[in-house]
Structure 1
């Protein structure tokens, strides 16, 4: 009898966690598709297959949902960008993969950063995360550079989402050619 109760409580906890994850995934996905001002809690609830009341029960408010979604997305981005330190080929491959997955979403957020406080906060964090990624992944090259700060700036630009956009979206290059050109930029910068 006690075993059944324990199983029921565990199953319930799993169901709650799965619902919470669906709501967060829906919120993150919608932020990649349209401006913040065009996303209502009804939209998030509908995408997640729950009621608005369920969303509020899990997160307390729209701000609570946005905060949880921001933390979830930030962790996902950090995980996606894991790269062996000093491996230039892997670094360029990983960053292009990341932009293939989230580049358009990042560009939409960047387009809103001047008039949306939430997007400004998210993009500031994203820029800091990108610079930290460059600093970590290219650490051996930065240590050997005459001017590590300048090299960091240039590597940030070479591997930035706007560089990917110019090649992949504006020039309509294939993913492979985009990666190849970003790699050439990076190689040209390294000592």
Structure 2
């Protein structure tokens, strides 16, 4: 009897974890495809194959689910950016474009929702990580630059590799990826004196 109960409880725990994973995956997918303000719990529940009540029972609130889902998105982004060798400008720009082509929409949408209390901290983390990434990827080129010039140069590199630069080139100007990527690379190389 005790062995059966252990098995049942283990199976339930496994099933509950799988449900939690499906809900988070559905929320992440929705965040990548739509404005956060347009996403309804009904949509997430349907995609995950559960009820809204189950979503709320597991995550407590829509805000908490989005906080966790945004965290998942940020981890995916971090993994992609972490594969660039410091000093490799081309690989750095390429990684930016890979990231923006997949997540640019959700990043832009998140910036539009920055006034929301549950979104503001996520946007702040994104900004901080972008700056850290710039300092890491371009560390060899920044090594000999002293403050305050270093701070200004990092600011300029953050701007050159920002999602809004990608948006201007790809969405507003409708440049093909290779042309837009070459333009961003040219900006970075000019800032680093490598043009």
The TM-score with structure 2 as length reference comes to 0.85
Kindly report which structure 2 residues correspond to 1:23-62, keeping only aligned pairs within 5 A, or say none: 23-62=23-62
The RMSD of aligned alpha carbons is 2.3
- Residues in 2 aligned to 1:188 and 1:136: alpha-carbon distance in whole angstroms: 18
- Are the equivalent residues in 1 in contact too, given 2:86–2:139 (CA < 8 A)? yes
Q: Please tell me whether the aligned partners of residues 36 and 109 of structure 2 are also in contact (alpha carbons under 8 angstroms).
A: no
More deviation, 33-42/48-57: 33-42
Q: Is the 8 A contact 2:28 2:73 kept in 1?
A: yes
Aligned to 1:159: 161
CA contact (8 A) 1:32 1:109 kept: no
What secondary structure, in the 3-state scheme, does the structure 1 residue paired with 2:118 have?
Answer: helix
Match of 1:87 in 2: 88
Q: Partners of 2:190 and 2:7 in 1: how far apart? A: 59
Task: Find the counterpart in structure 2 of residue 149 from structure 1.
Answer: 151
Aligned pair count? 190
Does the 8 Å CA contact 1:32/1:108 hold for their aligned counterparts?
no
Change (3 A) 1:7 1:159: farther
**How do 1:116-131 and structure 2 match up within 5 A?**
116-131=116-131
CA distance in 1, matches of 2:153, 2:8: 56
Which residue does the alignment assign to 1:174? 176
Match of 1:108 in 2: 109
SS at match of 1:144: coil
Could you tell me how far apart the structure 1 residues matched to 2:14 and 2:28 are? Answer: 21
How many Å separate the matches in 2 of 1:7 and 1:88? 54
**Structure-2 change in CA distance of 1:15 and 1:87 (3 Å):** farther
Contact residue 100 and residue 163 of structure 2 kept, 8 A? yes
More displaced 10-residue stretch of structure 1: 16-25 or 168-177: 16-25
